Amino acid sequence: MGVGAASHEANEMRRQSGPEGASAPVGTDESRLFAWVEQVCGGRILSSAQTSGGNRARSWAIDVADAGGQVKEVFLRYGPPRPPGVEPYTIHREAQVYRAIATLPIRAPRLIAEHPDIEAILTDRATGIAEFRRLKDPVVKQSIAREVMADLARLHAHPVDGVALSGGGSGPRIRDHVRAELAIWRAMYDETGRPDGLLDLAFRWLDDNIPDPDGPVVLVHGDAGPGNFLFEDGRLTALIDWELAHLGDPMEDLAWFSMRCVMEPVPDFAASLKDYGLAGGTPVSRNRILYHRVLVSTRVVVIRHRNVTGEPAHAIVSNALNRRLLVEALSDASGVSVNWPKPIEAEPTDREALYSRILDDLRDVVVARSTDGQVIAKAKNAAKVLKYLEAWDRIGEQVDTLESDALVRLMPSARDLTLEAARTSLAQAVRSGQVPFGEALDFFAGKAARDAQLATGASGGIAHRHYPKLALEHEDDR
């Protein structure tokens, strides 16, 4: 889902072909699914390829030949069984979204079938790749972004009467649906049973500042932007990854677009907003985009908070980036400035040469001499973790000391608590409104800055990225 979900691009496929060119997925449900695909398509599977990525769902690009020899290119998405929980975003719900957009003049995969028992859907297979960063020509990149904005404008212009999605809100106003989304994501956070003061602060602000515009409720993609669309030969081919779609505020999709531009920027974000308006999009509201940047960042931090078993390198980089972005989004939307501390200065440790030697070996020996993609990926991830550990070895003690001192200044009662207990106590105090918003935000800015410094080596170029600026000549700020 969002931020790293699987996409349709063929070049990212991991081939798993068997003797006849196709291999059934491993597992009882998955084996049944391949038989179901053949039944639905009325043919025989020629080849299959499991796509990379995807934290929860598994996906396959499949070629099926019918009795006349015609080949149909389809895409299978499967959600393995998971324990019951509050999260409503299932594959069956995704099928509801595909039915809602089936007749719209937008570029998106079309639903072929939904499995009656298993969490699985079959769609046609869009062509193209999703890695926007591969494009080097800024003119082409801006042109593709313009096409994305045009499709979002068409999506937002479509009446939503009769559209009902599982777990969604109800009501005639945008505010009703934003409140429903907040309830979903707060429940997903609370389900972890692990307090997080920054999330509590974000939800507190979001609850107190829900926008209430007069415009119509629309269907929003819910994760729009670079990485979640495909392109080929300089043209947009499909908007993908619709699992977070819901009824709500069109400005949310523009906020998502700006979030995804942090990772894979468009050359001119302001021009993209103008393109959205020229394509007939809803009048752009800077204030509402700023609000939804907070909501978007909160969602991403909740996802990371829930995913405690993911790839360590990804967790290090994602936590550092997205928690800093959430603080920045809160500051921008609230108008409350924060004091970002200067980087911690420290001398290299005696182990600096050891870290450097291992990193050199990973780069110059393991990666350079391997042709196995999984080995290369694992070596690069190990290098990121090692860079983080090197930074912790150098400044980790100061990071903890500075956080402990800041906690005591904020809550004198934390003086006799362990660092972990003090963090929990702060989260409870923030949630109950006992800590002034500005003071809490300033504390989390300091923590985010120190955590970001620890992750700088692992983060590479994104360590210093920010949301694109919102400078609009004309806007509707209702």
Give the tens place of pLDDT for each residue, 129-157.
Answer: 999 999 999 999 999 999 999 999 999 99
> How much is the pLDDT for 82?
85
Question: What CA–CA distance (Å, rounded) separates 330 from 338?
Answer: 10
The dihedral region occupied by 193, where left means phi > 0, alpha psi between -120 and 50, and beta the remainder, is left
76 has pLDDT over 80: yes
- Judge contact between 83 and 65, C-beta under 8 A: no
> Which stretches of 411-477 are DSSP H helices?
419-431, 437-454, 456-459
For CATH 3.90.1200.10, the residue range(s) in the chain are 132-336
Amino acid at 465: R
Residue 247 has which token pair?
């009824």
How much of the chain, in percent, has pLDDT values that exceed 70? 91
Residue 56 pLDDT class (50, 70, 90 cuts): confident
Question: What CA–CA distance (Å, rounded) separates 425 from 116?
Answer: 47
The chain-wide mean pLDDT, for the chain, equals 91
Tell me the residue length of the chain: 478
Question: What CA–CA distance (Å, rounded) separates 330 from 326?
Answer: 6
14 has pLDDT over 80: no
Among the listed residues 5, 474, 477, 24, the one whose alpha carbon sits nearest the alpha carbon of residue 227: 5
392 has pLDDT over 50: yes
Question: What CA–CA distance (Å, rounded) separates 245 from 160?
Answer: 13
SS3 217: coil
The dihedral region occupied by 21, where left means phi > 0, alpha psi between -120 and 50, and beta the remainder, is left
Question: What CA–CA distance (Å, rounded) separates 428 from 417?
Answer: 14
For CATH 3.30.200.20, the residue range(s) in the chain are 10-124
CATH number of 132-336: 3.90.1200.10
Residue 83 pLDDT class (50, 70, 90 cuts): confident
**Phi and psi of 228, rounded to 5°?**
-120, 25
User: Using alpha carbons only, what angle is made at residue 356 by residues 350 and 358, rounded to the nearest 5 degrees?
Assistant: 110
- Judge contact between 290 and 471, C-beta under 8 A: no
452 has pLDDT over 70: yes
For 10-124, give the CATH class.
alpha beta
Which run of H or of E encompasses 188? helix 174-190
